Amino acid sequence: MYTSIQLTSSVRETFISHCIANKPMEACGFLLGCIEVTQIRITSFVPVANASRNPERQFSMNASDMIPVVLNNTFTIVGILHSHPNAAATPSSEDLSTTWYDIPSHWIVSLQQPTIEIAAYQYTHNYQSPNSFTETQTTKFPKKQAQYYPIPIILIEDE
């Protein structure tokens, strides 16, 4: 488990501006940085266009936009960020069904007024085995149960 995340004011302002500029659609992107044992340090934000068919209620990213970020070996992806234009900064059931649970942190920026709320979480997926013989026959794959844990964000000065 990660115990905290360090975030600079300039990176915070960059991703907030991106989220506001995309409202009423959900905005998204990657947070880059480093991990030192149980602490994450954010050094930059890379915005990615929301390619969802329903961008007001969900986000997705085109592979062509993600590949340059994911395959770049000069930095580490330490977070994935998206906004909730009209909802709280807590994960929705759609958020918890992500296939990106291996990314160290998942960020949600709530643009509900009057205050912008930012929250970071670590997602884990636990597989449950079927409860009975009948469930085994009707289910080809184990059920996926998502859990999330908040990670405290520490705002630090720019260097």
What are the domain boundaries of the chain?
4-156
Q: Tell me, what's the pLDDT at 125? A: 72
Specify the CATH number of the domain 4-156. Answer: 3.40.140.10
Q: Tell me, what's the pLDDT at 126? A: 63
pTM here is: 0.86
CA distance 51 to 26: 10
Q: Tell me, what's the pLDDT at 144? A: 58
CA distance 149 to 142: 22
How far lies 10's CA from each of 2, 145, 150, in Å? 22, 36, 22
CA distance 89 to 109: 6
Q: Tell me, what's the pLDDT at 136? A: 45
Average pLDDT of adjacent 10-residue blocks, the chain of 159 residues: 96 98 97 96 97 95 92 93 97 86 94 93 71 48 70 94
Q: Tell me, what's the pLDDT at 102? A: 87
Helix (H, G, I), strand (E, B) or coil at 73: coil
Structure tokens at 65: 């936009």
